[in-house]
Amino acid sequence: MSRIQPPGRPFDDPELCASRAELARALRTFLPAEAVLAREEEVRPYECDGLSVYRQTPLLVVLPRDVAEVRQVMRLCHQRRVPVVARGAGTGLSGGALPCGEGIVLSLARLDRILALEPEALLARVQPGVRNLAISEAAAAHGLYYAPDPSSQIACTIGGNVAENSGGVHCLKYGLTVHNVLAIKLVSAAGELIELGGEALDGPGYDLLALYIGSEGMLGITVEVTVRLLPRPPLARALLAAFDDVGRAGAAVGEIIAAGILPAGLEMMDGPAIRAAEDFIGAGYPVEAAAILLCELDGTEAEVAAQVEAVETLLARAGATEVRVSRDETERARFWQGRKSAFPAVGRISPDYYCMDGTIPRRALPEVLRRTAELAAEHDLAVANVFHAGDGNLHPLILFDANRPGELERTEALGARLLELCVEVGGTITGEHGVGVEKLGQMCVQFSARELAQFHAVKSAFDPAGLLNPGKGVPTPRRCSEYRQLPSPAHPHRH
């Protein structure tokens, strides 16, 4: 990762200082002074997002208050060829909001209003800085909610969710951001306002809405999002199944799906994750288990009862050593508590951890879990697994100590190897965290040169000057040839 990233120039580099002062002056002709942050202590909080191993101070941080101001900022930056990195809450995990040292960070935090809530039409029109959970809170009075629920949903914004096509525990049944957004208004690299999508299921012309969602701020600046709202299901119950073998738990996942049951959530934790969570939160998890599955079923009472019965039978037949069914909301919340606190729980038992994100076909679960353990042993590192099993979205947590010489490098190597394992079994290098700067190298493994060229061509169709979030998402051919020359074990199967 960081081995390839060239170090940026220091904040007080004289040339940077001069262009900073000049650009700030130009921005302040139409923005209030306080909306342009130019001092080092002001811009420092923007130097990284949730992937804190990468840090870079931006030239300036700009905080417009409305769409008109966003357009003015973009027109100015376009005129002067200044790179622009959009930023929501900065909770991203792949470095997608990492600043560019010679460009501005455009924070959408002040565009934080819910513009309309239409319960009959099952939709809400919101500004990009609205927090994910705030939408569901506003819709709750009408019995509605916004389905995608990334684990950062208290903090993360809908604009960031659009950038990363965020998912969450419930996306197996309710889909990712792309399945729950109806329309977007964006400001183009040149400062023009463009509308994508609409309330209809389909629209004429190319599906630029779907193309835009998940494009990591590289095609435009999101200034308004119309989201689909769903009626809150009348009932949800959770099952907790213990297994004495990780592979058997993985196989059970495939059997539930193949039986035609679509759980609202189907999560898996392995032994190390179970024990870390239990030590931390005391959710009553079976600490001797090699793996647990958490399966949530929602719908009407009759529907849930029928599905609970079917899943119980399937789990028992798949070799579960114990199956519990939540009796009430308190118990359901307790089942989830351990899962929800798994990341901080792992943080307690290891000085550092690195959360990976890859996706595999469900049928490959047992094999990938086995090979993950083998690779961890080869790299002399421990891995805890906590993930969205139902949709094959893995989140191996590599435990390490950055203060021990060589451990960060071994962690990076293992992380890269695990992502490439996902590609080998027919999966992908990201499930919901995006590529950002973190996975540029693995993009060279996932895609052919022809496919990467196609991505660049599409990018140019939106941003010919390459000013929007440069250096993210899609590697240059040069970057790929550098990556391929890296010493093993970053990608040992190539050597």
Name residues contacting a copy of itself, limited to 90-149 (CB under 8 A): 119-122, 143
* Contact range with a copy of itself by CB under 8 A, out of 59-67, 329-337, 365-373, 455-463: 455-463
Tell me which residue of 329, 445, 431, 435 sits closest to 386, measured CA to CA. Answer: 431
Is residue 474 part of the contact set for a copy of itself (CB under 8 A)?
yes
241 beta partners:
293, 323
C-beta of 440: minimal distance to a copy of itself in Å? Answer: 10
Hey, what are 126's tokens?
């919101």
Bridge-based pairing of strands 144-145 and 230-231 is: antiparallel
* Contact range with a copy of itself by CB under 8 A, out of 20-28, 32-40, 154-162, 303-311: 303-311
CA 169, 327, 290 angle in degrees (round to 5)? 55
Nearer to a copy of itself, 58 or 214 (CB): 214
Nearer to a copy of itself, 177 or 411 (CB): 177
Hey, what are 175's tokens?
């889909």
Q: Is 293 in contact with 251 (CB distance < 8 Å)?
A: no
Among 6, 34, 206, 405, indicate the residue that binds a copy of itself (CB under 8 A).
206
* Contact range with a copy of itself by CB under 8 A, out of 289-297, 341-349, 402-410, 428-436: 428-436
Cα–Cα distance, 111 to 65 (Å, whole number): 6
Among 10, 282, 426, 477, indicate the residue that binds a copy of itself (CB under 8 A).
426
Is residue 427 part of the contact set for a copy of itself (CB under 8 A)?
yes
Q: Is 240 in contact with 274 (CB distance < 8 Å)?
A: no
Among 101, 159, 167, 265, indicate the residue that binds a copy of itself (CB under 8 A).
167
Binding mask 344-373 toward a copy of itself (x if CB under 8 A, else -) reads ---------------xxxxx----------
Among 207, 279, 329, 401, indicate the residue that binds a copy of itself (CB under 8 A).
207
400-438: b or e for each residue (b if 16 or more CB lie within 10 Å)? beeeeeebbbbbbbbbbbbbbbbbebebbbbbbbbbbbb
Bridge-based pairing of strands 193-197 and 114-118 is: unpaired
Look at the block and give the residue holding tokens 């074990």: 489
Hey, what are 224's tokens?
């308004």
Tell me which residue of 223, 214, 107, 188 sits closest to 436, measured CA to CA. Answer: 214
For 365, the enclosing helix (H) or strand (E) is helix 365-378
* Contact range with a copy of itself by CB under 8 A, out of 26-34, 82-90, 330-338, 449-457: 449-457
* Contact range with a copy of itself by CB under 8 A, out of 52-60, 299-307, 337-345, 373-381: 299-307
388 beta partners:
393
Is residue 415 part of the contact set for a copy of itself (CB under 8 A)?
no
Nearer to a copy of itself, 21 or 259 (CB): 259
Among 12, 66, 137, 195, indicate the residue that binds a copy of itself (CB under 8 A).
195
Among 7, 141, 200, 485, indicate the residue that binds a copy of itself (CB under 8 A).
200
Nearer to a copy of itself, 205 or 406 (CB): 205
C-beta of 196: minimal distance to a copy of itself in Å? Answer: 8
Q: What is the DSSP string of 228-271?
A: E-EEPPSEEEEEEEEES-HHHHHHHHHHHHHTT---SEEEEEEH
C-beta of 52: minimal distance to a copy of itself in Å? Answer: 21
Alpha carbons within 13 angstroms on the beta-carbon side of residue 345 total 22
Cα–Cα distance, 35 to 62 (Å, whole number): 6
Nearer to a copy of itself, 43 or 467 (CB): 467
Hey, what are 121's tokens?
């039409």
Hey, what are 238's tokens?
């959770």
Among 237, 439, 472, 491, indicate the residue that binds a copy of itself (CB under 8 A).
439
Hey, what are 492's tokens?
């040992």
Residues 234-273 that bind a copy of itself (CB under 8 A): 254, 257-260
Q: Is 458 in contact with 203 (CB distance < 8 Å)?
A: no
C-beta of 480: minimal distance to a copy of itself in Å? Answer: 13
Is residue 68 part of the contact set for a copy of itself (CB under 8 A)?
no
Nearer to a copy of itself, 97 or 381 (CB): 97
Is residue 215 part of the contact set for a copy of itself (CB under 8 A)?
yes
C-beta of 28: minimal distance to a copy of itself in Å? Answer: 28
Binding mask 383-412 toward a copy of itself (x if CB under 8 A, else -) reads --------xxx-------------------
Within 8 A by CB and 6+ apart from 152, the residues are 50, 89, 91, 132
* Contact range with a copy of itself by CB under 8 A, out of 83-91, 269-277, 278-286, 451-459: 451-459
